[in-house]
Amino acid sequence: MLITHDTRCALEAVVDLVNTAPEDETTPDGLPDVAALADFVRRHEISDVGVLSEFDLSAVRKIRGRFAGIFAAPDVRTAAGMINELVAAAGTTPRLTDHDGYDWHVHYFAPGASIADHLAADCGMALAFFVVGGERERLRRCEAPDCRRAFVDLSRNRSRRYCDSRTCGNRLHVAAYRARRKEATG
């Protein structure tokens, strides 16, 4: 499957968004205020976003929950249904663009769409094409027991198990190594 620059950016934005959600009542929200949302928009170079408000913040938090649900869906059919609902509610106006020096690609959000609808339309469509390409299993949750962060496995053989091999993967390798040594010596 060809993963275009825009699809990759959209997927990175979804993963980042899902991972801002607090794990429980004791952990802080990664999107605490409008400034944090503005920072998210800048970081992911999301185009055509107007002035952000409290309304935008609560709307983005709502769709964040829906994206998290798609990552957690038990099967493709459930995920497909959720993606359909998400994209339908956002409304779409597909159009070709070559903004900011990128090659021609299609944007889906309607002109003047809110940031929440923008993300739902374009990130929703990126996920839709992942399902079409038979790639849904690349949408993963980290297997480290105390992590569970969302990530997209873009490795050639879909073998990635941890959100970040330098932290989660490595941490587990060290733990397994220590356990083996303990067995050998004890």
Between 95 and 178, CB nearer to Zn ion: 95
Measured from the CB atom, the residue of 61 and 149 that comes closer to Zn ion is 149
Coil, helix or strand for 84? helix
Binding site for Zn ion (CB under 5 A): 6, 142, 144, 147, 149, 163, 168
Q: How far is the CB of 98 from Zn ion (least distance, A)?
A: 9
Whole-number minimum distance, CB 120 to Zn ion, in Å?
Answer: 16
Q: How far is the C-alpha of 147 from the C-alpha of 1, rounded, in Å?
A: 29
Could you tell me where the beta strands, DSSP code E, fall in 31-98?
Answer: 92-97
Closer to Zn ion by CB, 123 or 163: give it.
Answer: 163
CB of 86 to Zn ion, least distance (A): 19
The CB-of-38 to Zn ion minimum distance in angstroms stands at 19
Measured from the CB atom, is 88 or 106 closer to Zn ion? Answer: 106
Residues paired with 152 in a beta bridge: 139
With b meaning 16 or more CB within 10 Å and e meaning fewer, what string describes 101-128?
A: eeeeeebbbbeebbbbbbbbbbbbbbbb
The 10 Å Cβ neighbour count of residue 156 is 6
Cα three-residue angle 5-53-62, rounded to 5 degrees: 65
Cβ-based nearer residue to Zn ion, 80 or 129: 129
Task: Give min distance, CB of 99 to Zn ion, in A.
Answer: 6
